[in-house]
């Protein structure tokens, strides 16, 4: 495969694969609300698909879907009263709950959340304004109306994508694969805004396509790494505030370094594997590696989280490890790695969740993967994904040499919403 074919295949691999199901759910919700607020049965009228799906920048595994239900203008006066904002959200929830009593539906101001298996829809009832913006209900501080301008964001994405030879939406999708691979807590609108800002800042890719996506990846991550740390950005098109959940510059700098290495490995046996380190397993594997896999003498027991759950990283998760050995003071693994230390044998390792920002309830899973010649010789690759025992920890020992890996996942409503990994180099 040429580099162009590899990136084209990669983008095909991360394409949404449940459009029909998503469209059906949008239609069900719309028809239900139309029946309640307008006494009609249309499954398409009076809704606006927004968010990454509405901007056409979502990828396979998307779990957070957004829609605006456009309220009848004649009902404005009945809801523009004290307590009207809460009543609008409550009426929206009740209409959906009456139609779907077994579905988990609740108000989470300023939206109503409808939870389906593997994804949920955030429904925002709103009144359209003459300029195409929307007033939506906010129940905080006694209630008020806030303004949102998703049409301006959709239009900016559409127009700039055309101006940039269809590269903007593709870059947004690749960036999502990167943040899901590396557990970078970035919202979809922030990703789209940063990709938009990057391509607006250069004309280098205005007439180029897949053949240059290796360079475009490198330059985009360099752009992110060089961004000053901010609390918010102005969204593409609308200019409304987009909150930065967590600093992304360090992760982007590492991605830039990985891109440089992948480009340097062009046409070699390791090229694809290096791009997989940037974008994950959906980037096509090298053909020689596929052939080699059929001749392995050890059991391939590794499991991949993307085969078990949809992945849509939205929150921060960090893990660390306490390293202990008889007669020595305990040390932290990340601190040791920062000084380029490698572990020796006969040490005890206690991996733990050191920081997590996932709201509400969630489940934790672990993956311990042994890599290297010794792991293969012993037929001890491991790599199974197992549920946490309830303490957000997992204990291991340094038994043999190799560059081992431990990953941790937070799963909420059947979706991986946060993840982290740590390398365990053993001499």
End residue of a domain, out of 295, 330, 349: 295
Domain for residue 365, yes or no? Answer: yes
Q: pLDDT tens digits for 232-244?
A: 999 999 999 999 9
pLDDT attached to residue 397: 81
| pLDDT for 403 | 77
pLDDT at 346: 73
Residue 148 has pLDDT above 60, yes or no: yes
Is the predicted pLDDT of residue 290 greater than 50, yes or no?
A: no
Domain match, 167 and 287 both? yes
Does residue 125 belong to any structural domain of this protein? yes
The verdict on 352 and 268 lying in the same domain is no
**Candidate from 91-100, 161-170, 246-255, 329-338 with smallest mean pLDDT:** 329-338
- Sign of the C-alpha dihedral, residues 399, 405, 410, 415? negative
Mean pLDDT of 303-314: 90
At 347 the pLDDT is: 81
pLDDT band at 161, cuts 50/70/90?
very high
Residue 169 DSSP symbol: H
Residue at 316 is within a domain: yes
Task: Please determine, for residue 123, whether its predicted confidence score (pLDDT) is greater than 60.
Answer: yes
| pLDDT at residue 332 greater than cutoff 70 | yes
Res. 117 pLDDT band, cuts 50 70 90: confident
Mean pLDDT of 323-342: 79
Alpha carbon distance 160, 166 (integer Å): 8
Are 334 and 405 within one domain?
yes
Residue 10 is assigned to a structural domain of this protein: no
Residues 286 and 186 in one domain: yes
Question: Are residues 87 and 173 both part of a single domain?
Answer: no
As a whole number, mean pLDDT of residues 63-83 equals 96
Q: Are residues 274 and 312 both part of a single domain?
A: no
Of all residues in the chain, the percent with pLDDT exceeding 90 is 74
Asked if 410 and 358 touch (Cβ cutoff 8 Å), the reply is yes
**CATH code where residue 394 lies:** 2.60.40
Indicate whether 8 belongs to any domain.
Answer: no
Q: Is 190 part of any domain?
A: yes
- For residues 119 and 22, give the distance between their C-alpha atoms in angstroms, rounded to a whole number: 9
Give the residue from 274, 295, 316 where a domain finishes.
295
Domain extent at residue 360: 298-426
Q: What is the pLDDT of residue 302?
A: 85
Q: Are residues 156 and 204 in the same domain?
A: yes
304 within a domain of the structure (yes/no): yes
The count of other CB atoms within 10 Å of the CB of residue 200 is 14
pLDDT of residue 297: 67
Task: Give the pLDDT mean for 77-81.
Answer: 97
Given a cut of 60, whether residue 293 has pLDDT beyond it is: no
Domain boundary among 113, 141, 169: 141
What confidence tier does 295 reach under pLDDT thresholds 50, 70, 90? low
Q: What is the mean pLDDT of the chain?
A: 92
Can you read off the two tokens belonging to residue 417? 């919403």
From residue 318, how far is each of 33, 184, 392 by CA, in Å?
41, 10, 11
Which tens digit of pLDDT belongs to each residue from 338-371? 887 777 767 888 999 999 999 999 999 999 988 7
> Based on the domain organization, do 219 and 193 belong to the same domain?
yes
CA dist 58 and 41 (Å) reads: 28
* DSSP codes of every residue in 177-246: HHHHHHT----HHHHHHHHHHHHHT--TTSS--GGGHHHHHHHHHHHHHHSPP-SEEEPTTT--EEE--S
Q: Is the pLDDT of residue 96 over 60?
A: yes
Per-residue pLDDT at 69: 98
Same domain, 288 and 302: no
Lowest-confidence region among 221-230, 270-279, 301-310, 349-358? 301-310
Do 120 and 193 sit in the same domain of this protein?
no
**Same domain? 122 vs 199:** no
Are 331 and 415 in a shared domain? yes
Task: Give 109's contacts (C-beta < 8 A, 6+ positions apart).
Answer: 85, 86, 89, 137, 138, 139, 140
CA 26 centroid distance within chain? 21
What pLDDT was estimated at residue 291? 45
Domain tally, the chain = 3
């Amino acid at each position: 495969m040429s580099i162009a074919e590899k990136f084209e295949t990669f983008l095909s691999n991360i394409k949404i694969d449940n459009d029909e199901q998503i469209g059906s759910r949008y239609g069900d919700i719309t028809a239900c609300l139309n029946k309640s607020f307008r006494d009609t049965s249309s499954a398409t009228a009076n809704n606006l698909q927004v968010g990454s799906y509405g901007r056409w920048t979502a990828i396979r595994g998307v779990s957070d879907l957004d829609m605006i239900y456009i309220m009848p203008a004649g009902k404005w006066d009945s809801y523009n009263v004290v307590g009207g904002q809460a009543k609008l959200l409550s009426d929206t929830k009740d209409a959906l709950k009456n139609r779907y009593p077994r579905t988990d539906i609740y108000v989470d101001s300023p939206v109503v959340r409808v939870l389906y298996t593997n994804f949920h829809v955030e429904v925002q009832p709103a009144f359209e304004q003459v300029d195409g913006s929307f007033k939506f209900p906010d129940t905080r501080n006694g209630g008020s109306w806030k303004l949102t301008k998703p049409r301006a964001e959709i239009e900016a994405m559409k127009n700039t994508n055309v101006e940039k030879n269809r590269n903007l939406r593709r870059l947004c999708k690749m960036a999502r694969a990167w943040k899901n691979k590396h557990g970078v807590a970035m919202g979809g609108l922030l990703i789209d805004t940063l990709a938009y800002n990057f391509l607006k800042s250069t004309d280098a890719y205005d007439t180029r396509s897949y053949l240059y996506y290796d360079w475009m990846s490198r330059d985009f991550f360099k752009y992110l790494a060089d961004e000053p740390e901010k609390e918010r950005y102005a969204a593409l098109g609308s200019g409304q505030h987009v909150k930065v959940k967590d600093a992304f510059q360090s992760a982007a700098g590492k991605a830039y370094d990985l891109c440089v290495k992948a480009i340097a490995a062009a046409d070699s046996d390791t090229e694809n594997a290096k791009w997989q380190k940037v974008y994950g397993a959906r980037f096509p594997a090298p053909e020689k590696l596929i052939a080699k896999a059929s001749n392995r003498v050890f059991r391939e027991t590794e499991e991949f989280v993307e085969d078990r759950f949809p992945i849509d990283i939205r929150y921060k998760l960090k893990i660390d490890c306490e390293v202990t050995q008889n007669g020595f003071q305990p040390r932290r693994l990340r601190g040791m790695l920062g000084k380029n230390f490698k572990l020796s044998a006969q040490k005890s390792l206690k991996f733990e969740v050191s920081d997590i920002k996932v709201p509400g309830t969630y489940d934790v899973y672990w993956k311990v993967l042994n890599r290297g010649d010794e792991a293969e010789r012993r037929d001890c690759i491991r790599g199974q994904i197992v549920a946490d025992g309830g303490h957000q920890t997992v204990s291991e020992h340094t038994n043999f040499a190799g560059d081992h890996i431990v990953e941790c996942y937070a799963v909420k409503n059947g979706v991986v919403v946060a993840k982290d990994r740590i390398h365990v180099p053993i001499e």
